[in-house]
Amino acid sequence: MKTLSIAGAKRRFFRCPAGRSALLTLLAAGSLLLVSGQSARAIQVDLSLNLLYEVPTNPNSAGAWQLVAKSDGSGIAALRVLLNDNAVSPGLMAPMGTVNSSNPAGFSQRYIIDRGSYSELFIAQPATPTTPETGVFYGFGTLQNGAPNFPGKPGGSNSIGPSLTTLTGVPGLPWAPGDVLGEAAWNTAAIVATGTFAAGQLPDFFSSGSETHIASTYTSIGTLTTIGATSMPSATTITTIVRDNLMGLAGDFNLDGAVNAADYTVWRDTLTLTVPNGTGADGSGNGVIDQADYDIWKMNFGAPAMMGPAVGANSVPEASSLLLLLAAAAPLGIAKYSGKTRLSARNGKKPQSR
């Protein structure tokens, strides 16, 4: 298993040989498919940039990032995502392979382009049918433990679409093995790309004027020799969210950055109350203020923020384990963009619109 390197990470990009003009040509070619088989039904594509900090109690530490996507319909056909320049060492993880011995299958059209202040990630599936089989992977972004429908798919994986008997060379299956941050709502999100970020640098989505995200999805499933209809870009809404594995200082019930007598007062004044899991003095995350929460406060008494204190039963997996998970998990037109939210795992805080 290959792990993602954090220390001394340098910016590395795959460059499109012909630059932006080649990408625009590809988008234009893909749009021909939409003209003949597009659907006007509203479709939503949800993007999550998952930040996995090396030290989950320190938001200034280095870490790894993971871009995942889920969608309505029958899976993602093409996707263009912009990330700021703090998301370094990007590598595309969307699956691809070969059918009919030489025809591309899956997300074989792919580019990462360094645009200075941001990077442009692009993946797309075949826009024209091939014979005797067309290598489209349906269900990317809609199926947990997803895989193309072919004889070599992993045991227990889920597939939709025609059986591709000639498909070979598809690494990284299954896609969407489950959310790395443990949120069931994101279990069907497929891994699009991974990378790293340096200490003190915050990866985020990038959007400026006409430079924004683009997506198209399949609204129907094709046959071995036809490609399913795809969504109109103007009818595709894209949402973004940044999530992370940051955790609050265990025992810091009043969120003042230290574990002290004031936190004991919060625990004492709310003892026996039922609260949303992980909020207030519920250090154990069981939804009840009880003795377990006192024990967590006592265990961490005197600890300042960002010192990596001992934690209780509500601790998240260590960053090293999450990085291993990341390594293993390893046209169009402007879509409607609904803005982005940021969600931190710490203290049960809800995401806020930005």
pLDDT for 184:
93
Does the pLDDT at position 330 exceed 80? no
**Does pTM surpass 0.85?**
no
pLDDT for 232:
81
Where does the chain hold its CATH 1.10.1330.10 domain(s)? 249-315
Residue 344 tokens read as: 């931190």
Instruction: Classify domain 249-315 at the CATH topology level.
Output: Type 1 dockerin domain (1.10.1330)
Q: Which residues contact 184 (CB under 8 A, 6 or more apart)?
A: none
Contact 108, 96 (CB under 8 A): yes
- Residues 303-313, mean pLDDT to the nearest whole number: 46
Cis geometry, peptide bond prior to residue 177 (ω within 30 degrees of 0) = no
Residue-wise pLDDT tens digits, 161-181 = 999 999 999 998 999 999 999
Residue with tokens 């609904």: 338
Residue-wise pLDDT tens digits, 19-48 = 344 344 444 444 434 433 544 567 899 999
- Residues 276-285, mean pLDDT to the nearest whole number: 79
Residue 217 tokens read as: 């999805």
pLDDT for 104:
97
Q: Which residue has the higher pLDDT, 115 or 354?
A: 115
Q: Which residues contact 126 (CB under 8 A, 6 or more apart)?
A: 103, 104, 105, 108, 109, 134, 135, 136, 227
pLDDT for 248:
74
pLDDT for 343:
54
Q: Which residues contact 28 (CB under 8 A, 6 or more apart)?
A: 331
Q: Which range is least confidently modeled, 39-43, 129-133, 220-224, 252-256?
A: 39-43
pLDDT for 207:
85
Residue-wise pLDDT tens digits, 247-270 = 778 888 887 778 999 999 999 999
Does the pLDDT at position 61 exceed 80? yes
Burial 26-53 (b: 16+ CB within 10 A, else e): bbeebbebbeebbbeeebbbbbbbbbbb
pLDDT for 31:
40
Residue 91 tokens read as: 């590598």
Q: How confident is the model at residue 304 (pLDDT cuts 50, 70, 90)?
A: low
- Residues 259-284, mean pLDDT to the nearest whole number: 88
Does the pLDDT at position 5 exceed 60? no
Does the pLDDT at position 82 exceed 50? yes
